Amino acid sequence: MALLRLRAALLGPARLRGAGIPWSVLRSYSSTSAKEKARRNAICERTELLEVLKARVKQLQASNVPEAMVNKAELAPLGNDKYQDPLRKVVAPGPAEEQPAARGRDESPARPSSWVEKLKKEMYIRQLKVERKLSIAASQPALEGQAKAKPKGKAKAKAKAKAKKSLKSPKSPKSPKAKVAAAWSQSHAGLHGVYARGKPRVAAVKEGTKAQRPQRVLEDKDSSQYKILQQTIQSNLECFLFLRQPEEAERLLLLYHSSPVKRRLLNVNAYNIVMRSWARKGHLQHINRLFFMLESVGLRPNLDSYAAALECMGRNQPSTKAIRRCVQQLKSDGFHVDELFQKCLFEEDEKEKVLRAIRIVQPNYQLPPPPKPQTCKSSLLQDFYSKKKMVSYPKLDFSVQELQERFQQQLEMELDNTVTIESVESTKPLTPQAIKARKLLATLRSHWHDSILQALQKSKHNMSKLKTASGYNILYPYLCLLPDEEYVGIMLQILNTLSPQGESLAVLARELASKVYNRYITQRKLRSRQLEKVQEIYEDYIHLLAKDSQPDEYLPREYWEKLVAEAGFGPSLNLKDCSWPYMLLLRLGMHMLELLVQAVKVPRNILNPRLEPKLIPVLYHIYSFRSSWQVGLIKPHPIFSQIVSDAAETLLTFNSSAIPMLCPPVPWTSPHFGAFVLNDTKLMRFVDGAVQHQLLLEQCPLVNLHPVLDALNQLGNCAWKINQPVLDIIISIFNDKGNEKLDIPPPISEAPRPSAAPSNSSTWNKSQKHELLLCKKKAAEMHSLRMDALYKLSIANYVRDKVFWFPHNMDFRGRTYPCPPYFNHLGNDVTRAILLFAEGRPLGPKGLDWLKIHLINLTGLKKKSALQERLEYANEIMEEILDSADHPLTGRKWWMNTDEPWQALACCMEIAKASRSPDPAAYISHFPVHQDGSCNGLQHYAALGRDLIGAISVNLMPCSVPQDVYSAVAQQVEEFRKKDAEQGVKVAQVLQGFVSRKVVKQTVMTVVYGVTRYGGRLQMEKRLKEIDEFPEEYLWEASHYLVKQVFNGIKEMFSATRDIQNWLTESAKLIAQSGRTVEWVTPLGLPIVQPYYRSRPTVLNCSMQNLSVKNSNNNQKPDTVKQKNAFPPNFIHSLDSTHMMLTALHCLRQGLTFVSVHDCYWTHALTVDVMNQPPLPTLACCLPCPSPLTCLG
């Protein structure tokens, strides 16, 4: 129990999101006093301990239940009604008379069709038979229930009478439709009590308003809940389509179609999915019935409906008359046959079957020609897209054969879904204790595998029983999409990577379900033969990139589109939308998590034989606090954590999407297609549950997105390799207890330990408790940083002998990011130092000079000096540079005292190699040289406001020497400090000698992005903490003083900046108050919407814990505070991204290697001058209007 208490007292869970996700600890730099922090921490500690004890008591009580009871109740929560039809809690039984049918978004009332009318007579007879059978089946259990029911008081009798009265329609006894609806309602209600263990449920409507509220939910088709339910139904139908179970798909559809209220959730897409299920089996009779059902509820068939019918006819070749009637009806509904092949998405051989059916009645029919490629008309890119100035796309230094081999390697990796690699810690010798722990862990995992598999199969068996009651469990089809072994493997993968500090339920549930979804998408792409088509096209696409192929004057996107158009037949490259709602993902994840918690157990005496030999759970559900929120956590038992720690395993498992690509990425051609070969990747990143960004992209004409897509393709096509000498030095330090000064995290064994304290914790004083909590917090942070570095270095070591690529996508503001999340060039100094361009270029006449200037820039010295002065300084210290390159760990170690030490060391090594070569100009360099923006946010504000003084200070205007705004602000703050010190201000006197560029830089940089004084104070406090000589007792007062002076200094230096920020803030406030979100379009045509809404959290009822889920939906009211505060930084970020993309496209036309870290541009030393010369896009290109008012108006 002491161990439990120790673990539970940790302040925050490490943020480990599944396999390959680094742990990060919630950091809070509080401004409260030590006493206040100690009081709060003590409360949190006691609360967490209490939750641990409660959880343990529950599990002990459960374990004491007799075996028969355990077997009966063990999985009851997993199959209860909380996972059944989600509409049961939303849809109240409505009046028995027919309700007006719902229409789809783009649907019109159905017109009478001769083809359908011919089916009505036959269907009418069948419908009467079905109604008769259902009425008989529904009346029998109803009569039996009435016979068995015994009233238990007047109140219950009145409630039942009232419920019957409110649910009864005056015409229901005479209405056959009412009987059918009632029968379906009763048969559907049969599923509700399946897992209620014999406890009947009575749905009593107490008030008229409560009875009408669920119907209002379904009437509001724009509500988020309505859309979630509609998407859930379609996702379930898609599962049955994938499982090739059309009977189950139609059965589910009928559950909703037969209810006048529930059928409002059905649109034509739901019927189409069932049609496609039957079409694959060639059952035209079922499709005819679905057409009848469509029109009976006022829905109009669309192109997909007719495609399914024609596909079915192409499979079983019915009479020519039937096909002709179908084609005629298609035309009478306003469609054209050509549109089937232009707008519909096909899988497997569906396209060929549709064409076969059409050619039965039109033997000479030919597929419509592909649409003519459109050209972007943006005024900023007229020259770029001009055919007169087309140049060959830059070639990679690989042959066609080599690129084909790399593609096969990438494909195999993605088909495996995960990649297991050796950790960089594997070089450590194995101890006997580690060998013993590994054997023990392997044995336990084998037992856990069997236990989880048994629990999963039992859970699925219980769910399948619902079929006998004409019911339906919402999760059952999702647990059948993959083999059982894959579900078990996913759960064990989460268990193996769980942090000792635990993780929140929501994060784990999301991670579990996402892994299932990703594997499902992979299997869909395989079964639909989409992968075959991608493989064929990619083999031709690499001719554009290979060095031994004929050069073509195409961009990657254009060439891919050309190849797709030429391919003609086969499946579509885009799958029909089959995304799962966020709430559904959480339900599935929670179900798997509950299985994991209940099935995985360990003997209590496994580490201590003196204890009782009893099985105890490996995972515990407890509660913790994050800010003021109570959060449910899953924490491993200390026994499990101890075994894992002793085993010191050296294998790491990552999702395949976490590893850099081994071949050039698939080019982005639309918001739905690009990046990885198989892994599903979105063009625009967004928070879970948000859909407005994707809708905005889909509504935008594709030609308007061409510049953005081409820029992302340019960034992704840059090939990389590892700087092996630097990597080896970093790994050696990492395995030798690390070095915090060099940003190499030490192991947790080096964490500070509290001073000696009494063994009885109840006798500790407040200072001792506070010291203990600080040590725990520091240990958790060190563990998080250590694991983050371990993952990055291990991935780098895995690809050390390979050439690799980083596919890119973007956030909702247009800022670009590499898709692999851990190891990429956006990382810290350590990560950037071990990356080199795979393509080498000679230095040329000025390349060596640029390497030296780049080195001085990395040191943080000579910020105010001209480039020539920096070059001269580099020449003066060549002895130090060469010593650092030759003896990095044993020499004078000059490189260790720079701002970016590892990048500086890598640059020293490159300079040494180049300067020692026979001809430095001919030396082939792979080293990236950076050109960094001068406080890019202030540059944009100065340009927007036409602020001459501000423009000079951020190098927007020509100057004899480079200007450094951070040094200027630091100098101004120092002047303010001197004046205050002379007037006797104590804190100003304490700060003497501590005001520097490094202290103020972060705050100056982020002021323009909306940082508040509170946030700025935390930044200042962090910087002052890094100075060993600064007195700790003045941290809060000094940081508060400095942030005030920085804000005053910026206000004086950039007069227009604050005015523009205020105007942007006020504009956003007015827009949000009018009930709309702030939206704009960047100069490159990218539509942007701010996803901040006043969302009410939705409570997800689960057996383990209720989850409060916030859904960001565009039908909710905008959050005025967030909309106005976020608009200025988001708008500036979008301009910053526009400028970067313009630069990327310019460099593409010049044949330059180019990548960026937002406002920091990388290229070869040879091409720095080319990149800096006109027509390099300037900030003025991003400002097409004379003022921000007209720009936003």
Just list the catalytic residues: 932, 1001, 1159
Nearest partner of 962 among 855, 849, 853, 1051, judged by Cα? 853
- Residues 626, 628, 631, 635: what is their CA dihedral angle, to the nearest 10 degrees? 40
Integer distance in angstroms from the first to the last C-alpha of the chain? 64
- Candidates 237, 251, 250, 257; CA nearest to 299 is 257
CA atoms within 13 A of residue 354's CA, in its CB half-sphere: 28
Q: Could you tell me if 555 and 337 are in contact, meaning their C-beta atoms sit under 8 angstroms apart?
A: no
User: C-alpha distances in angstroms, 125 versus 42, 121, 122, 130, 132?
Assistant: 74, 7, 6, 9, 11
Tokens linked to 840: 């080498």
Q: Are 838 and 731 in contact (CB under 8 A)?
A: no
Taken in order 770, 773, 777, 778, the sign of the CA dihedral is positive
- Tell me whether strands 924-925 and 928-932 are parallel, antiparallel or unpaired: unpaired
Query: Residue 208 and residue 813: Cα distance in Å, rounded?
Result: 46
Using DSSP, state whether 535 is helix, strand or coil. Answer: helix
3-state secondary structure (DSSP) of residue 32: coil
Structure tokens at 349: 């051989």
- Residue 299, both tokens: 């829905």
**Interstrand relation of 601-603 and 615-617 (parallel, antiparallel or unpaired):** antiparallel
811 forms beta bridges with none
Please check whether residue 853 is in contact with residue 877, taking contact to mean a CB–CB distance below 8 angstroms.
Answer: no
DSSP letters spanning 685-732:
---TT--HHHHHHHHS-GGGGHHHHHHHHHHHT-EEEE-HHHHHHHHH
Residue type at 511? Answer: E
Concatenated DSSP letters of 813-862: TS-EEESSSSSSTTS-HHHHHTEEESS-EE-HHHHHHHHHHHHHHHHT--
Handedness of CA 1063, 1068, 1074, 1080 (dihedral sign): positive
| Cis ω before 1175 (30° cut-off from 0) | yes
Q: Report yes or no: 1116 and 224 within 8 Å, Cβ to Cβ.
A: yes
Q: Which of 1073, 1016, 1069 is nearest to 1042 (CA)?
A: 1016
Q: Where are the alpha helices (DSSP H) in 501-545?
A: 505-527, 530-541
CA distance 313 to 702: 34
Separation of alpha carbons 457 and 530, rounded Å: 31
Is residue 1161 helix, strand or coil? strand
**Edge-to-edge strand order for the sheet containing 835-837?**
804-805, 719-722, 835-837
Sign (positive or negative) of CA dihedral 1120, 1122, 1125, 1131: negative
CA neighbor of 349 nearest in space, from 397, 379, 313, 315: 315
Rounded distance between C-alpha atoms, residue 835 and residue 825, angstroms: 7
Burial grade of 67 (CB within 10 A; 0-12, 13-18, 19 or more): exposed
Instruction: Measure CA 31 to chain center.
Output: 33
